[in-house]
């Protein structure tokens, strides 16, 4: 019988609205529940949790309140824990190929006695079996369409997919209007910038928390209003003397997106702070929907963005582990960056692993034509660069 929505935890032996102190395992297999598999009672005063064990393709829709967190635990068939992934509010997971693996879904409360069956059943839907396969198919189709909007061509020697790091800083100061324009004129596939909030919540392009190293002022970006920051100018960077004071004012998210749009470049947006909603709104307003990638070293920021949008996410992953790669795989339409340097040698295995998981991958600081050529040869998907050197075959 075709599986329909299962409301998680309604099957737990407790009355609605009653805080759970004892929980039970429930075994799920292809959408069927065998009462004989009800087993050991769990009583843990630190983590009030409900646990279900299930196999088969599944999709989880999570809209839990902030104080309730889901953990998805993955095991091999010998019940050895392989990895744990947290599901924050409004995050969705979808897993299709789970042969020889089992999963436990745990609802946890950050404060005691706050999980009850009514709250959880209102906020989580677990779909398994045939319905899950169809949802996963539709999800993958949306992701494929999103990927095709940013990767419109292959990364080749003659036409490399260069991502201009903080703009084209060979000819202009980083994260400036001129550096973004020069990147577009240079033919960059994508223009990267870093975003932070001002005191009055304007989103601006600057890497550091403070303005000390780049502007003729001191203090945190968040301590100034946007109007106050416009009184200052960039004083560090290449060719600083050839630009007007107006060109050296701090750029806004909207100005940066307008330049990316004018030069048909992907906006590669690194979030130092969570500006997920502001990016989506600005991209919709300017006409850049589907033409940007959201990047961060903070996986929680990317998780929040994924709850709002199907656009590509990118994790700056300095220390690659199976856990954070699997988090990206579960979220879908994702890429990652590693601080590795031997794409055709010892690091080729990591490239292949990411591709096998459906992830795009890049290495950092591809600043020579020789290194760019090696990265392309190894199958690297795009090239973050400060120089964008021409590549000769």
239-290 residue pLDDT tens:
999 999 999 999 999 999 999 999 999 999 999 999 999 999 999 999 999 9
| 112 Cβ contact list (under 8 Å, min separation 6) | 45, 48
Rounded Cα distance, 85 and 141, in Å: 24
Q: How much is the pLDDT for 78?
A: 67
User: Are residues 122 and 231 part of one domain?
Assistant: no
User: Tokens 């307003």 correspond to what residue?
Assistant: 285
Boundary of a domain, candidates 144, 169, 204: 144
CB 388 within 8 A of CB 162: yes
Boundary of a domain, candidates 116, 144, 172: 144
CATH classification of the domain holding 346: 3.20.20.190
Winning range, highest mean pLDDT, from 25-29, 42-46, 126-130, 170-174: 170-174
Q: What is the mean pLDDT of residues 15-26?
A: 27
- How many domains does the structure of the chain reveal? 2
Q: Which residues of 20-32 are buried (b: 16+ CB within 10 A; e: fewer)?
A: beebbebbbeebe
Query: For a pLDDT cut of 90, what percent of the chain falls above it?
Result: 53
CB 289 within 8 A of CB 212: no
Encode pLDDT of 134-193 as tens digits: 777 788 888 999 999 999 999 999 999 999 999 999 999 999 999 999 999 999 999 999
User: Are residues 170 and 210 part of one domain?
Assistant: yes
Residue 392 forms part of a structural domain:
no
User: Are residues 76 and 41 part of one domain?
Assistant: yes
Q: How much is the pLDDT for 28?
A: 28
Entry pTM = 0.77
User: Are residues 184 and 313 part of one domain?
Assistant: yes
The region of weakest confidence among 51-55, 237-241, 246-250, 380-384 is 51-55
Confidence of residue 98 (pLDDT cuts 50, 70, 90): low
As to burial, measured by CB atoms within 10 angstroms (0-12 exposed, 13-18 middle, 19+ buried), residue 162 is buried
Neighbouring C-alpha atoms within 13 Å toward the C-beta of 88: 13
Higher-confidence position of 77 and 88: 77
Q: What are phi and psi of 81, to 5 degrees?
A: -70, 125
User: Are residues 124 and 184 part of one domain?
Assistant: no
Rounded Cα distance, 47 and 151, in Å: 44
Q: What is the mean pLDDT of residues 102-108?
A: 60
Instruction: Give the three-class secondary structure for 363.
Output: strand
CB 167 within 8 A of CB 245: no
- Residue 12's domain comprises 6-144
User: Are residues 162 and 138 part of one domain?
Assistant: no
Higher-confidence position of 26 and 211: 211
Q: How much is the pLDDT for 61?
A: 63
Closest CA to 196 of 247, 262, 270: 270
Instruction: Give the three-class secondary structure for 227.
Output: helix
User: Are residues 173 and 122 part of one domain?
Assistant: no
Confidence of residue 366 (pLDDT cuts 50, 70, 90): very high
Q: How much is the pLDDT for 4?
A: 26
User: Are residues 62 and 115 part of one domain?
Assistant: yes
Q: What is the mean pLDDT of residues 114-142?
A: 63
User: Are residues 127 and 191 part of one domain?
Assistant: no
Instruction: Give the three-class secondary structure for 73.
Output: strand
Closest CA to 326 of 348, 308, 299, 296: 299
Q: How much is the pLDDT for 108?
A: 56
Residue 12 forms part of a structural domain:
yes
User: Are residues 194 and 325 part of one domain?
Assistant: yes
pLDDT above 50: residue 18: no
User: Tokens 């994924």 correspond to what residue?
Assistant: 306
Residue 391 forms part of a structural domain:
no
Q: Which residues of 221-260 are buried (b: 16+ CB within 10 A; e: fewer)?
A: beebebeebeebbbeebeeeeebeeebbbbbbbbbbbbbb
User: Are residues 116 and 254 part of one domain?
Assistant: no
Residue 390 forms part of a structural domain:
no
Boundary of a domain, candidates 144, 173, 204: 144
User: Are residues 157 and 138 part of one domain?
Assistant: no
CA angle, residues 48, 54, 56, in degrees to nearest 5 = 150
Residue 195 forms part of a structural domain:
yes
Q: Which residues is 27 bridged to in the sheet?
A: 53
Six-digit token string for 275: 């500006």
pLDDT above 60: residue 361: yes
Residue 393 forms part of a structural domain:
no
Helix (H) or strand (E) holding 323: helix 322-331
The strand ranges marked E within 190-239 are 190-197, 203-205
């Amino acid at each position: 019988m075709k599986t329909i929505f299962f409301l998680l935890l309604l099957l737990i032996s407790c009355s609605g609205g009653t805080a759970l102190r004892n929980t039970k395992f429930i075994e799920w297999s292809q959408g069927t529940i065998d009462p004989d598999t009800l087993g050991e009672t769990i009583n843990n005063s630190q983590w009030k949790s409900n646990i279900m064990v299930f196999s088969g393709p599944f999709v989880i829709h999570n809209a839990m309140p902030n104080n309730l967190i889901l953990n998805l635990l993955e095991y091999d068939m010998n019940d050895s824990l392989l990895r744990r992934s947290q599901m924050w509010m409004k995050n969705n997971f979808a897993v299709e190929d789970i042969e020889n693996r089992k999963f436990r879904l745990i609802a946890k409360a950050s404060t005691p006695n706050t999980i009850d069956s009514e709250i959880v059943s209102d906020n989580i839907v677990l779909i398994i079996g045939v319905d899950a396969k169809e949802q996963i198919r539709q999800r993958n189709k949306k992701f494929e369409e999103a990927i095709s909007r940013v990767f419109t061509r292959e990364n080749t020697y003659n036409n490399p997919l260069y991502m201009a790091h903080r703009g084209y800083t060979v000819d202009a100061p980083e994260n400036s209007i001129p550096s973004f324009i020069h990147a577009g004129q240079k033919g960059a596939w994508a223009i990267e910038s870093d975003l932070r909030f001002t005191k009055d919540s304007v989103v601006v392009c600057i890497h550091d928390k403070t303005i000390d190293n780049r502007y003729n002022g001191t203090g945190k970006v968040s301590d100034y209003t946007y109007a106050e920051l416009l009184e200052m100018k960039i004083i560090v960077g290449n060719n600083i003397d050839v630009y007007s004071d107006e060109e050296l004012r701090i750029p806004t998210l909207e100005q940066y997106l307008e330049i990316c749009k004018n030069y048909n470049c992907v906006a590669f947006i690194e979030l130092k702070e969570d500006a997920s909603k502001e990016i989506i709104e600005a991209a919709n307003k300017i006409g850049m929907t589907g033409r940007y990638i959201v990047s961060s070293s903070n996986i929680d920021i990317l998780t929040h963005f994924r709850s709002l949008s199907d656009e590509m996410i990118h994790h700056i992953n300095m220390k690659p582990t199976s856990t954070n790669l699997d988090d990206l795989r579960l979220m879908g339409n994702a890429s990652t960056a590693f601080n590795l340097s031997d794409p055709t040698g010892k690091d080729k295995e990591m490239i292949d692993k990411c591709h096998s998981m459906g992830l795009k991958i890049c290495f950092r600081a591809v600043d020579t034509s020789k290194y760019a050529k090696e990265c392309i040869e190894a199958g690297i998907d795009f090239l973050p660069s400060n120089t964008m050197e021409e590549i000769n075959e």
